[in-house]
Structure 1
């Protein structure tokens, strides 16, 4: 299945929220179809899932940042039973468990130097997530080119985007979509 159509729903900007207080705003936003939950605890996930599904949006939970859920196969299974659409994680073992559960998987990778790029390509190549998300979104063009050529996966990005200009620049380099918590970038007037 096509991640960019099925998960991002053809949009190039996903709304990232760190606090539950921000949920209502992202649910109401007409341009945001994909919500990245970057913080909370397991007790709130069922309510978030219910609210997101009620407005026919997609929920990706950053499992590394959710408190109270086991960072293991059972924790992934629990999240699947709760009804999430997918996970974001930096951990290969969690990505593999999520793939086994039939969830959408975004493997987040931090690019700090050429060696981290090589490692990211090797690890994501072994895991085969549905997409990778690079941090920060301001990486050089060759990083995106190398990831796409080596992995053949959609490349998302997040971090260090502040202005519409920086958003346009990131997308202009070949990044397929971004996740951002900055409300003024949710409009997606690109």
Structure 2
């Protein structure tokens, strides 16, 4: 699967949504193709999935943060049956099970020191998600370069970006796309 083409539609920004009430704004935004749901509960998912799918956009739910989803294979199977296109998770067992369910998988990795870089690369290489998301997006260029070289996967960046120049700097370092909840950054093409 070509993640940057099929999920991001060649765009550099994905909308990170923390509150279900804000989903319509992302659905209606002309520069947004991918929506990363970072909260809410499973009771709202069927309606959200239908609305996002009808808008011909891609929805990925952060399964560690959405309440009511069984954090196991059965929960992932239910999400697939609901029509969810993909998931974001920090948990490698869930990433692996999601891939087996043929969901799009973004493995979220927190980079805090040199050891976490090695661990992140080892874990992602074992799972082989469709993309990785590094937090914070302000990490050094060599980290992004090493991850891309080792994994051969798209690298998304999230967190600690406030301005358009912050986004440009992250992209210039080699991050392929940004996930952000800041609406003023959604206009960056």
| TM-score (norm: length of structure 1) | 0.98
Correspondence 1:140 to 2:144: no
Aligned with 2:48: secondary structure?
A: helix
In the TM superposition, what whole-angstrom CA distance separates every residue of 1:155-184 from its partner, at most 9, and x where no partner exists? 001000000000000001010001000000
Note the C-alpha offset of 1:83.
0.6
Distance 1:73 1:85 in 2: 16
| Aligned CA-pair RMSD | 0.6
4+ aligned runs moved over 6 Å, structure 1: none
Q: How does 1:1-190 map to 2 (within 5 A)?
A: 1-189=1-189
Distance 1:152 1:51 in 2: 33
Q: How many residues align?
A: 189
Consecutive unaligned residues of structure 1, counting only runs of 5 or more, are none
In the TM superposition, what whole-angstrom CA distance separates every residue of 1:26-74 from its partner, at most 9, and x where no partner exists? 1110000000000010100000000001110000000000101100000
Distance 1:78 1:21 in 2: 23
| TM-score (norm: length of structure 2) | 0.99
